[in-house]
Amino acid sequence: MVKYNPKKWISVIFHAYSRQVMRTLTPAMLFMGLFSLACCYVMLDVFKLHEADFKPTIAMHSLLGIVLGLFLVFRTNTAYDRWWEGRKLWGALVNSTRNFAMKINAYVPKEDKAEREWFAAMIPNFVIGMKDHLRHGVWVEHLEEAYPGFRASLERYKHKPNRIAAILYEHTNDLFISKKVNPEQFLNLDKELKDFMDIIGACERIKNTPIPYSYMMYMKKFIFIYIITLPFGFVTSSGYMTIPLVLLVTFVLLSVELIAEEIEDPFGRDLNDLPTDELAVKISENVKEILL
């Protein structure tokens, strides 16, 4: 996730991210530049058309621009809603892990170091497993060996965060059976464990429910039709200045669409995705500070 000072205009305008966007858009910008150049050359130099001979109108583009603007606003708002909901869920995970660790700290005696170390390892393991699960799968090497054979035992499970949560449930139940916690304390711990599963389920809903295909398809079609017909609206009135005008409009429209594409799945490694790596480290540090 990009960290920046919104009050420093120059650094924001010329941020390295702008160069990354330009590299992504270069093929489309190059195509539109060459296409606009070809339109200008054929109409102005080959057919010798001038404004008196060919009177295009930008009224159609003005009307389409209003509709396209509404579509883009809805598109970016929808993508941002997904990004912000993901951030709220990870904020809730920070709170739930802290609460769970504080309750374990209060219920388990200071002398019982083995139990405290077990939870200090397993709570961050769930968070790290959840982070990797929302990307491209869990690497067990990233997890702490909370007990002998823990990482090897996870290999056969497809949904590894589920298994880690199940182990947390089983171990918490063992605390109750062995009377290390009373029924009221067990219910308090159960609430936090339930929150863990509610949070990962909500994150999976965002991850596995993309923007409807038909909406995405027509959005891209509208942008393509708009920019591909744009040179014909300016060529006889603006001449070869049509080329920079078309490139500017293309850059603006495609940049907005690119931003929406990037943030609609907020759990990846893109520059504008959520800082889940940093949050996982913060949770691990907080939990260990509470319990150890």
b (16+ CB within 10 A) / e for 146-181 = beeebbeebeeeeebbbbbbebbbeebeebbeeebb
- Most confident listed range (14-18, 91-95, 211-215, 252-256): 91-95
What pTM was computed for the model? 0.87
CA distance 134 to 138: 9
Sign of CA dihedral 97, 103, 109, 110: positive
The larger pLDDT score, comparing residue 201 to residue 272, is at 201
Q: Write down the domain spans for the chain.
A: 21-83+212-263, 86-209+277-291
pLDDT tens digits, one per residue of 24-47:
899 999 999 999 999 999 888 887
CB 94 within 8 A of CB 278: no
Structure tokens, 19? 């160069």
pLDDT digits (tens, 9 = 90+) for 278-288: 999 999 999 99
| pLDDT for residue 17 | 67
Counting beta carbons within 10 angstroms of the beta carbon of residue 65, is it exposed (0 to 12), middle (13 to 18) or buried (19 or more)?
middle
pLDDT score of 223 more than 70: yes
Per-residue model confidence (pLDDT) at position 55: 64
Torsion of Cα atoms, 69 then 74 then 75 then 77, to 10°: 120
Please tell me which residue, 145 or 4, carries the higher pLDDT value. 145
Average pLDDT, the chain: 89
- What would the pLDDT profile of 165-188 be if each residue is shown by its tens digit? 999 999 999 999 999 999 999 999
